Amino acid sequence: MDTKVIGKVRTMLCTIATGTVIEVGDLVGMTAGLIVKAGATTPKIARAMKASASGDVVIEVSVGRIPLVMDGDAVFAVTYKGTEVDIAMNGTKQEIDVTGGTSYRVLLIDPSQDAGVVGSADDIKCVINRPLDGMVGTPA
């Protein structure tokens, strides 16, 4: 699982190609009307709330700007707080591109005091900044 959710999340069902496998917690995007695993150049994202196995035709994904905890591609620094960033790929693992990927700005690193531990790349708080569905509110 590449991400952990903070709080409650609204969801929606989306179509997925029958051969596509998505793990719970993966960040996903859409290509040609179908859900795919997000990568470094995905312009809008959601979080897979349930896994999808080969043969499935629908998948449950998040709605709106949801708070997450993810690992970074490098150690966290105070200057990263409040920064809009991209997804970095470490093999198949999705990470926060804390080292400067700002082309797509799909994630916003939490500006709060406890956004991350300086010197650690683990458990950095962020928010989906450009949600797949276009909704801007955070669920209660």
CB count within 10 Å of CB 117 equals 12
Whole-number pLDDT of residue 140: 37
Domain's final residue, options 62, 82, 97: 62
Whole-number pLDDT of residue 100: 73
Q: Which domain holds residue 77?
A: 67-128
Start-to-end CA span in the chain (Å): 23
Domain's final residue, options 38, 62, 86: 62
| Distance of alpha carbon 24 from alpha carbon 10, whole angstroms | 15
- pLDDT, one tens digit for every residue, the chain (140 residues): 689 999 899 999 999 999 999 999 999 999 999 999 999 999 999 999 999 988 889 999 999 999 999 999 999 999 999 999 999 999 999 999 988 778 999 999 999 999 999 999 999 999 999 999 876 554 43
Residues 11 and 54 in one domain: yes
pTM, full prediction: 0.91
Long-range contacts of 35-38, Cβ-Cβ distance < 8 Å, separation of 24 or more: 35/59, 35/61, 37/94, 38/87, 38/94, 38/106
